[in-house]
Structure 1
């Protein structure tokens, strides 16, 4: 009766009774599920980076084991192809709320006059810095009115959690409401939790370009 209700075959059920799933198979299944979630977040990670991410999440798995499970789950690092000359980029994941289109179809931004009060407009970008121990990535969130850094995060790899952590820190510090968070298309702008809280509105530039007054060499100068 239970098999009929669950739409399972009785033959499969009795086979499972004769040969139940081993503890190792259970453990591998949990590791694969964690790997799938990490891969969905950043599909460019290979098995070595997946092993690092698992370790950060408190899951012990050697690189050899991760490699074996990645083959079983068919999780491969994706490599982005270069766009041919003249090809146009695809649509941004969010609208450009601050862009102004001129008569020639060019999109420009004026961040100096975009905000008249604090927490109206935030700008975010990721910069890389070389240290004696290797490369570090810094994601900073800058208030457009006060010209101060209101949140940041640092990591040894550029991933979506880097941007999400910086925004969470800024939200915890400023507790904004309806703030526009603007980034270029190159930033890892994945702020699902913040969008669910409806605290900020995301804005992404149509093309990846240097944000004047933000990603310039003096971007971190004031308020940092």
Structure 2
């Protein structure tokens, strides 16, 4: 009966939870992300773990990043980057409702693994006007979220829609669907350029989940 009384320690439970999260992020990146990037994502989404800790778990799980050959082009070239302008420039107080929307995707950990929450916020009211929760981060889900926001607000389009530079927001599918809107993008490595919705996502994970 000894094994019936045994309970894993909190440290072991935490490590197993983190391990599942790491494997999920690793697979979602097509096995490209290493410990630095995965540690960054974990931190962003409220799961503690320094790079060395993540590395030790990846080693334990026998997973390591695949490195792209030099000749393979990345999804977003430097030329495309120059076309992505930050029109918002941290002006988070528009004068009219539904004139500026911002959107973002975040990870949420569940007992069955990660799910992805896509949200659209009206910067004037700070209200979430559309959201979708899915098991993947396809561009189609982002577009679905935007369409939901349009229907709820009874408008054809906002004047400006702001996002980060994730592949979902720089895809041709996204550009075609948002034609007629002014697309604004955060600068590289500047989550503060999309601070309002980033803060909202952090808040719900910190206080509500």
State the alpha-carbon separation in 2 of the partners of residues 220 and 172 from structure 1. 27
State the alpha-carbon separation in 1 of the partners of residues 68 and 138 from structure 2. 15
Change (3 A) 1:124 1:220: farther
Asked whether the 8 Å contact 2:108–2:205 carries over to 1, the reply is no
Alignment partner, residue 114 of structure 2: 135
Shift of 1:202: 1.2
Alignment partner, residue 178 of structure 2: 195
Larger RCO (alpha carbons 8 Å, 6+ apart): 2
Aligned residues: 128
Change (3 A) 1:94 1:142: same
Two-structure CA RMSD over aligned residues (Å)? 3.1
Change (3 A) 1:126 1:178: closer
Alignment partner, residue 182 of structure 1: 162
The normalised TM-score by structure 1 is 0.49
Larger radius of gyration: 1
Alignment partner, residue 214 of structure 1: 197
Runs of 4+ in 1 over 4 A off after TM superposition: 78-81
3-state DSSP of counterpart to 1:212: helix
Alignment partner, residue 57 of structure 1: none
Structure 1: stretches of 5+ with no match in the other structure: 1-43, 47-77, 82-88, 100-108
Structure 2: stretches of 5+ with no match in the other structure: 1-28, 32-65, 70-76
Shift of 1:205: 1.5
Shift of 1:188: 1.9
Matches within 5 A, 1:42-121: 90=78, 91=81, 94-99=84-89, 109-111=90-92, 113=93, 115-121=94-100
Greater fraction of residues in helix: 2
3-state DSSP of counterpart to 2:121: strand
